[in-house]
Structure 1
Amino acid sequence: MYSRRTTPNDLEAELKDLLTKRMKVSENIVQTNNLQAVMAFLVQKYGDQQKAIQALLNEAAAEFGSGSFGHSWLAYFPNDGKKPTTYGYHANGPGKQAFEINNPSSDSPSRDHKARICQPVTQLQSQELTTIAKEETDKKQEYTWQENCTEFAGKAWNRVMTKGTGTSLEFRQKPVKGGLMDQLMQTMHAQYPAVATPGQLGYVIGAANGSEEKRQFKLPTEVLATAPLPGSADVLGVFTKDRYATIRMNGTTDIALAGSRPVTVLTAGTKFFTLDTVATFNCSPSKDQDYPYFVFSGSKYATVNARTDGDNVVLGHKGSPTNISNIPAFKDFDHVDAVMNVTSRVEQCSPQGRSKSADFVVFSGKKYKYITVDPSGDLTRAEENSSKSGTLRIDKVRATIGVPGSKPRYVFYGGKYEKIDAPEPSHIRGTGHPVTENWLSFSNAGLAP
């Protein structure tokens, strides 16, 4: 997806320019910020209020569609090297369809479009894009100041690329409260509470990609936890002390999906404002079932349930924070640094929960324990395999990442990461590399240390 701007539009200034330059409204009237005065001028010019409103809407659509505000669109690049196909809205005039498909297009991945976000497309996603194209063709929507190029591109991207991940791009921007644009939207009973603009889309693309001018946080020096998100087994939440972001593991490639968020978004109801780690059951996430997390913070832990609802992750807490000391298998542990799932199989979640036990390694300082959690998921009933528990060669493990369908793990500790060829603590040698040398998705998502 492309945008030709990288900073949010100044909607108020752009509307005032439209009124004074295109519609010849007196600048003195415009500067009063009084929409009634503006409309009185336009009614006098066009004969009646309905004609004045229609003229304003037509001019706004023409200005939005002229490219002076920027432009946004989608491009699909096939793997076979053929030319891409582009999808977008264009201002073709009142009453004329705005949606256009350009196949083949002259676009190229290296072309400078100010802001862009690119991701691999699955067969299902390709089919969804084809469905959207047919819907738009049948709809015959004309170009308006609200149904514009960014409204189409942003909604289509979120529907195709981020559905079920909780990482939708916020491509609409709200007008200045009490300004002319705000008054206009209220008077016209605007369809959306904010206006989709190329600048806002370019800005959030920049935040997701981590461009220097948009990055709000420093490069991470410590990764504290990772956990799969419901609805997509290859999408992970990556956590620092007080923020988390989502990335997609595509083989050995990590891709940032959106900017970081406060941890409190995930830990709602637990009263945890920072965390030590997050653990999950050993079942593949399902978009239509609750997906449980264990959230650890200091000497306490709590459970959080999550499920997807359209493009959003809906969260709720299952129980109040409980002391770790209440878990017999965690005896001698006063906190938990990390949890690594080492179960050899992957089981789909069901409404009845898991049907088989799952195995984990729990890390606390230099110590680690192997535990088995029964199908109920009740940690207080977990059993320790003391014959496999032991001591690390390093001070502590902070997080692990597994690639779906693969034995190797990435282990994070002390601002470093190390790849081990099997999910066994004895394979951790302490020969890690700085996180800042790799894992660009972390910095691209704007994770703080």
Structure 2
Amino acid sequence: MGDIFNVFDLNSSKINQTGVASVGYPQICLRTNRTAKRTNLDDVIKTADNIANKYPGDKAKSAFAVLSSLSELFGGGSFGHAWLIIFHSDKPGDYSSYSYHDGYGYVHNGDTGAGGHTNDTASRGFAYQHVKKINPEMIQALEKVIIPTLNGISTAIGASFGVQPASGRTGVYTATTNCSWFAGNVWNAVTNETVIFTQKFVGKEHANKWGVDALYLINEIADPGMIAESIKGGVGA
């Protein structure tokens, strides 16, 4: 993917392992380690164009190469991450975590096993966070209704890209159903707030060149930089 991995500004300088006591408990916390600067999608598009140019006339190979590279970019760590934590109390360790990760899809409380390369813990550093108190009943709705619904949507979108859930996992991580897509949708559904987590992306302008028909239906991309811009003045930021 070249130098594009070097264009994203990350900041993991803040640590908070028990939430914001003044908000009250339980509380939901949206975090990101991206600085408040949206991704320059022109750089991403240029990189994808260069990959597609390697496979003239071979739609299948072009699509596979482009989608694989974009998933690597968005899910490789250098792009930044967004994740959710519910702090049940101010007791250290009394929390639940939720996110999406490349290769796994939905990850709850780090359930990727000893070899899993994910980190959504309360001890992970972040640049910005936004915190809101929620009712205990909403936690059940989040886990039993909201997240399963999003997992179903991401699975359908993944299928349109030719990607299936990993063995034993639910939900599909793609460049369009990435960690910011998951975190932003869950936050807005739970809190009734409107955190802006996407920026415009006219997929139909790239569908033919990249060999990805599903892009005709895509008009936005979730971006941790957009989340950072949206919550930089939030509670607990």
Against the structure 1 CA distance between its residues 68 and 188, is the aligned structure 2 distance closer, same or farther, given a 3 Å change threshold? farther
Shift of 1:137: 6.2
In structure 2, C-alpha distance between the alignment counterparts of 1:169 and 1:56, rounded to whole Å = 29
In structure 1, C-alpha distance between the alignment counterparts of 2:63 and 2:171, rounded to whole Å = 19
In structure 1, C-alpha distance between the alignment counterparts of 2:184 and 2:218, rounded to whole Å = 13
**Secondary structure of 1:68's aligned partner:** coil
Residue in structure 2 matched with residue 107 of structure 1 by the alignment = 122
Which residue of 117, 135, 143 corresponds with 2:130? 117
Against the structure 1 CA distance between its residues 198 and 170, is the aligned structure 2 distance closer, same or farther, given a 3 Å change threshold? same
Shift of 1:183: 2.2
In structure 2, C-alpha distance between the alignment counterparts of 1:103 and 1:64, rounded to whole Å = 19
Equivalent residue runs for 1:284-323 within 5 Å: none
Against the structure 1 CA distance between its residues 208 and 77, is the aligned structure 2 distance closer, same or farther, given a 3 Å change threshold? closer
**Secondary structure of 1:118's aligned partner:** strand
The superposition leaves residues 329-354 of structure 1 with CA deviations (integer Å, 9 ceiling, x where unpaired) of: xxxxxxxxxxxxxxxxxxxxxxxxxx
Residue in structure 2 matched with residue 12 of structure 1 by the alignment = 42
Residue in structure 1 matched with residue 102 of structure 2 by the alignment = 91
Residue in structure 1 matched with residue 80 of structure 2 by the alignment = 70
Residue in structure 2 matched with residue 149 of structure 1 by the alignment = 179
Residue in structure 1 matched with residue 140 of structure 2 by the alignment = 127
Structure with bigger helix share is 2
Q: Is 1:42 the equivalent of 2:54?
A: yes
Q: Is 1:197 the equivalent of 2:197?
A: no
Aligned residues: 177
Shift of 1:128: 1.8
Equivalent residue runs for 1:351-362 within 5 Å: none
Q: Is 1:81 the equivalent of 2:91?
A: yes
Shift of 1:142: 2.1
Against the structure 1 CA distance between its residues 183 and 90, is the aligned structure 2 distance closer, same or farther, given a 3 Å change threshold? same
Contact 2:130 2:236 in 1 (8 A): no
Q: Is 1:184 the equivalent of 2:206?
A: yes
> Could you tell me the percent identity over the aligned residues?
26
In structure 2, C-alpha distance between the alignment counterparts of 1:193 and 1:61, rounded to whole Å = 17
The Cα RMSD (Å) is 2.9
Q: Is 1:172 the equivalent of 2:185?
A: no
Runs of 4 or more, structure 1, over 6 Å off, are none
In structure 2, C-alpha distance between the alignment counterparts of 1:12 and 1:203, rounded to whole Å = 19
Equivalent residue runs for 1:379-390 within 5 Å: none
In structure 2, C-alpha distance between the alignment counterparts of 1:66 and 1:73, rounded to whole Å = 15
Against the structure 1 CA distance between its residues 102 and 19, is the aligned structure 2 distance closer, same or farther, given a 3 Å change threshold? farther
Q: Is 1:2 the equivalent of 2:36?
A: no
Against the structure 1 CA distance between its residues 206 and 126, is the aligned structure 2 distance closer, same or farther, given a 3 Å change threshold? same
Higher relative contact order (CA 8 A, sep 6+): 2
Name the amino acid aligned to 2:132.
Answer: Q
Against the structure 1 CA distance between its residues 61 and 114, is the aligned structure 2 distance closer, same or farther, given a 3 Å change threshold? same
Contact 1:3 1:198 in 2 (8 A): yes
In structure 1, stretches of 5+ residues that fail to align are 24-38, 212-449
In structure 1, C-alpha distance between the alignment counterparts of 2:235 and 2:78, rounded to whole Å = 24
**Secondary structure of 1:202's aligned partner:** helix
In structure 2, C-alpha distance between the alignment counterparts of 1:75 and 1:17, rounded to whole Å = 33
**TM-score, length-scaled by structure 2:** 0.64
Structure with bigger strand share is 1
The superposition leaves residues 222-260 of structure 1 with CA deviations (integer Å, 9 ceiling, x where unpaired) of: xxxxxxxxxxxxxxxxxxxxxxxxxxxxxxxxxxxxxxx
Q: Name the larger-Rg structure.
A: 1
In structure 1, C-alpha distance between the alignment counterparts of 2:188 and 2:142, rounded to whole Å = 11
In structure 2, C-alpha distance between the alignment counterparts of 1:15 and 1:68, rounded to whole Å = 17
